[in-house]
Amino acid sequence: MGSEADNGQTQLIAKAFGVTGGVPFAAVAYVLFESYLLAGVLLVTEGIGSYYLLTYVFAQNEEVDGHGSPGGIHEGALGFGLSIGSVSMLAGAFADVGVPDAIAGGLLVATVAYVVLSFALPPVKEDRAAL
């Protein structure tokens, strides 16, 4: 029972952090750049990235069986990639390249980071539902 309760607690923590993780990024984007589009994209990407990053970190405390899920996503790579992409979007907005270009650049960085990290990071033990 302890393991099931701990897994439920860690999932609850990851979901709560996923819901609130993008709020600071969105607030900075809206207050400094007055862009609903950038704020919304940052809210979604950083929120999803925070959720998957925490589920991956919590799963690293469990034993790894050496292979990931065939055809599935790599939670750690997705979380890190989206978080890196969110920071890149914000950096692009600070560099004054324009909001659409900052978003496109951030999504490109997130995609490249996901592909690289999906090979570099170790897999998690078990498959879990997305949300």
- The alpha carbon of 55 is separated from its chain's Cα centroid by a whole number of angstroms, namely 10
Residue 131 is assigned to a structural domain of this protein? no
Residue 35 is assigned to a structural domain of this protein? yes
Cβ neighbours of residue 112 closer than 8 Å, sequence gap 6 or more = none
Residue 125 is assigned to a structural domain of this protein? no
For 114, the domain range is 2-120
Residue 130 is assigned to a structural domain of this protein? no
Please list the pLDDT of the chain residue by residue as tens digits (131 residues): 456 556 678 888 888 888 898 999 999 999 999 999 999 999 999 999 999 999 888 887 765 444 444 457 888 999 999 999 999 999 999 999 999 999 999 999 999 999 999 999 887 765 555 54
Residue 14 is assigned to a structural domain of this protein? yes
What is the C-alpha to C-alpha distance for residues 54 and 10, in angstroms, rounded to an integer?
Answer: 8
Q: If you search the block for the tokens 């270009």, which residue do you land on?
A: 101
Residue 128 is assigned to a structural domain of this protein? no
Phi, psi torsion values for 3, nearest 5 degrees: -65, -40
What is the C-alpha to C-alpha distance for residues 7 and 74, in angstroms, rounded to an integer?
Answer: 19
Whole-number pLDDT of residue 116: 95
> Largest Cα–Cα distance of the chain, in whole Å?
53
- How many other β-carbons are positioned within 10 Å of the β-carbon of residue 98? 13
Q: If you search the block for the tokens 């709020």, which residue do you land on?
A: 23
Whole-number pLDDT of residue 1: 44
Domain count, the chain: 1
SS3 131: coil
Whole-number pLDDT of residue 39: 95
